[in-house]
Homo-oligomer: A and B are copies of this chain.
Amino acid sequence: MNKNDLAIGIDMGGTTVKYGVVRGHEIIHECEALETKRFDGAKELLPKLIEEINALQKQWPIRAVGMGVPGFTDIRTGYVHELTNVPGWLRVKAGVVLTKGTGLPVTVENDANAMCYAEWAHGAGKGAENMIAVTLGTGVGGALVINGQLYRGSAFGAGEIGQMSIDYRGVMGEHGNAGALEKYVGNRETAARAAALYRKAGQKVKAEECPPHVLAAAARKGDPVAVAVWDEFTTRLAAGLSACVWLLNPDRIVVGGGVARAGSIVFEPLRRKIREQVAEPFHKQLKIVPAKFSNDAGIIGAAAVALSRLP
């Protein structure tokens, strides 16, 4: 693999399929996104992608294709077990089909892993030996780099930070897991807490009016409700991440997603609260930083993983 090598990165989500030609950390040519629901599952989307990849191959010397998908995949074979939120993606040999149609080596990776790899290879995780990546949105995702390599676990499921319990008698998660972190720091929960506290304070503010960037701006202006919301938010997130730190003793945590752009309102207390609940060998080399890439991480990461697997 050469740093000028080109790969196609595909970031497949429940709403859109974004893709482009990537060199290192740059998308040098981004194509118009496809709407996921306009295709009847894998059987229609994969032929379309083959067509698009082959068109791009005529313009660029593409060496590999990387595809990030929201679900479990077998990285060795490009097999997709299931995409919970995308119909028509049950037991799909995506890697084999795309390779056959394009003649290129194809890597199909979990999307959180792809984003983590983008940060590790080219972003806020550069140089880390052991890294935790966490993405904060409606859901809470995560991925791990261990000894300088993406770590996928025994069934390609590793890194589900959002499902880890922070309260064994707490709010039920989606998998019978009481106290699932996702239920405490997901955007929906944060907005609902803000609306409830505003109501208590006699202010009529709806949950829909409380996305992370609005709450962050309000907190910076000293709004007491927004300040209280972020205080509780960082206490909960620090508890979940501290558990990861005790277990893995990493040197980097990269925080991505909408909340990551809230800046010091989140990062200053988050760093302090983690430091206060782990021993010195666990915090002295630990850097907790916002992700560098936002919407592009999926495309860049998928391409980077694919290039890293070239012989």
Interface residues of A (CB under 8 A from B): 72, 81, 129-130, 142, 144, 146-147, 151-161, 163-170, 173, 175-179, 235-236, 239-240, 242-244, 246-251, 276-279, 281-282, 284-286
Contacts and interface: CB of A to CB of B under 8 A. Distances in A.
| 6 tightest Cβ-Cβ pairs between the two chains A and B | A153-B249, A168-B239, A154-B251, A164-B243, A157-B249, A155-B281
Contacts of A246: 160-161, 163-164, 177
A66 to B, nearest CB: 21
Nearest to A238: B168
A156 B249 contact: yes
Query: Max chain B CB contacts within 10 Å: which of A81, A175, A276?
Result: A175
Given A167-B167, A176-B276, A246-B163, A281 B251 contact: no
B168 A236 contact: yes
B281 A157 contact: yes
25 contacts: A142-B247, A153-B248, A153-B249, A154-B249, A154-B251, A155-B282, A155-B284, A155-B285, A156-B281, A157-B281, A158-B247, A158-B248, A159-B249, A160-B247, A160-B282, A163-B246, A165-B166, A166-B168, A166-B179, A167-B170, A167-B179, A168-B239, A176-B277, A179-B239, A247-B248
A178 B281 CA distance: 19
A284 B157 CA distance: 12
Given A81-B281, A168-B239, 13 more contacts: A130-B153, A130-B154, A144-B247, A153-B248, A155-B249, A157-B249, A165-B239, A167-B169, A168-B236, A173-B277, A176-B276, A177-B242, A244-B247
A242 B239 CA distance: 16
A159 B276 contact: no
A129 B279 CA distance: 28
A287 to B, nearest CB: 10
A183 to B, nearest CB: 12
A25 to B, nearest CB: 24
A129 to B, nearest CB: 6
B154 A129 contact: yes
Contacts of A165: 166, 239, 242-243, 277
